[in-house]
Structure 1
């Protein structure tokens, strides 16, 4: 499937198709815990997409070439970009087709507060007019059941934003629940919002807004050591090459949206090694 086909198939879906897709996706996601425990020899990891259907299609092609691989999307499917509807419909369709190999995590833009400010809600209003509420409610129902973290091979933690101050153990993710339509639990909120900083050791307030923090190398490495983990993989911030490695190799950032003037990338994660795939 190329970009043109994806636009026709997924970005131009009608309201009945979308609500049906969302309902079936909701049923699957409802059965998943807040923290996914995954075991794969190879896992593809896709960062923020923000309506970048071209990156989404290229990542899907890489996934389809290996029948044993899994793929994790780290959230932020909508807002800002050209094909927001196309991206969310594509990843939901992938989930329905391969529920045991496709995993959709929640980002900070899978919330009404972000959709109101950054375009997704108004896109739906323009597209569906008087029917927009029905369509948007269907998407919100799906967003509210997305897990917000994944543990791969008991050694890698994957999430959207970063380490939360009150997350000390792996089971803290599981005990937090999923947070509903607009997560307020600090464990979830900070996980989808926090950022790393090499200028601090532990935690420091983040100018993104109230309740959001920077986390430093000491905080992350203490968490990894306490839980027997190797690395954390996150997205949430555009980086020039589409990826960046921080904290002496213990943190990987992957960003998959080209609309920030960067080279979009995905992470090809194996048990003992990793590489990056250009989505440009």
Structure 2
């Protein structure tokens, strides 16, 4: 970074470099299954939301780094922290370096509509990318790259399920086998709903809200349910 301000870093970003990073990482992410099975040892990281200092602190406290351990990231890479985009770019670089030791799951911030609402183009503009064509191209490539991220991961011989949005009603009804069958990228409406549920479900906190135009639901009550 060449300059730093209290409202965020102002590094000089080369659009061609970012596009190459996104294209390369997209190809690497394609190789991961929709449901990734992770062998021990592994470390699970919650959402980062652009908090670059927190990400580096957590990694340093873990005291283990790929390829000696697998990092499982639970989505939420971009956000309103001081490193709004840099966290995603850093993790994509890590994924390219250690493709089998870094698992990037797709959270709700990685959905296309979220990238639009988060005003990613404004963040890019603040990083010295001013041409509209570059802004549109990078945003589109970010959406494509994020669409290649896996939905969830299974750890510890399938005893631990990592899913950014929690298991929603469709997933609980159909099971992981249905999710495993899905292909990344373009999906039918029912399949897309299942993938979005894996990213969004936990955000619906009130059971009474469960029928919001098909929006998935996973409430704290579900955690305590006994089958």
The answer as to whether partners of 2:204 and 2:217 remain within 8 angstroms in 1 is: no
Q: How does 1:105-184 map to 2 (within 5 A)?
A: 105-127=105-127, 128-130=129-131, 131-152=134-155, 153-167=157-171, 168-178=174-184, 180=186
Correspondence for 1:53: 52
Aligned residues: 212
Correspondence for 1:187: 194
Q: Which has the higher strand share?
A: 1
Correspondence for 1:276: none
Shift of 1:163: 1.0
Please give the per-residue CA displacement for 1:2-27, whole angstroms capped at 9, x wherever unaligned.
xx9xx99x964421211111111111
Correspondence for 1:217: 222
The answer as to whether partners of 1:45 and 1:71 remain within 8 angstroms in 2 is: yes
Shift of 1:113: 1.2
Q: How does 1:1-280 map to 2 (within 5 A)?
A: 12-40=12-40, 42-62=41-61, 65-66=64-65, 67-127=67-127, 128-130=129-131, 131-152=134-155, 153-167=157-171, 168-178=174-184, 180=186, 185-195=192-202, 204-206=208-210, 210-215=214-219, 216-217=221-222, 221-222=226-227
Report the RMSD for the aligned CA atoms in angstroms. Answer: 3.2
Secondary structure of the corresponding residue to residue 130 of structure 2 = helix
Judged with a 3 Å threshold, the aligned counterparts in structure 2 of structure 1 residues 98 and 212 are, in CA distance, closer, same or farther, namely same
Please give the per-residue CA displacement for 1:92-127, whole angstroms capped at 9, x wherever unaligned.
111111111111000111122112222323212443
The answer as to whether partners of 2:107 and 2:165 remain within 8 angstroms in 1 is: yes
2: CA distance, partners of 1:82 / 1:181: 34
Shift of 1:63: 5.3
Judged with a 3 Å threshold, the aligned counterparts in structure 2 of structure 1 residues 198 and 96 are, in CA distance, closer, same or farther, namely closer
Shift of 1:220: 5.9
Secondary structure of the corresponding residue to residue 166 of structure 1 = helix
Unaligned runs of 5+ in 1: 223-280
1: CA distance, partners of 2:202 / 2:224: 12
The answer as to whether partners of 1:33 and 1:147 remain within 8 angstroms in 2 is: yes
TM-score (norm 2): 0.79
Unaligned runs of 5+ in 2: none
Judged with a 3 Å threshold, the aligned counterparts in structure 2 of structure 1 residues 161 and 75 are, in CA distance, closer, same or farther, namely same
Judged with a 3 Å threshold, the aligned counterparts in structure 2 of structure 1 residues 195 and 33 are, in CA distance, closer, same or farther, namely same
Judged with a 3 Å threshold, the aligned counterparts in structure 2 of structure 1 residues 175 and 204 are, in CA distance, closer, same or farther, namely farther
Correspondence for 1:225: none
Q: Which moved more, 1:119-128 or 1:48-57?
A: 119-128
Q: Which has the higher helix share?
A: 2
The answer as to whether partners of 1:116 and 1:122 remain within 8 angstroms in 2 is: no
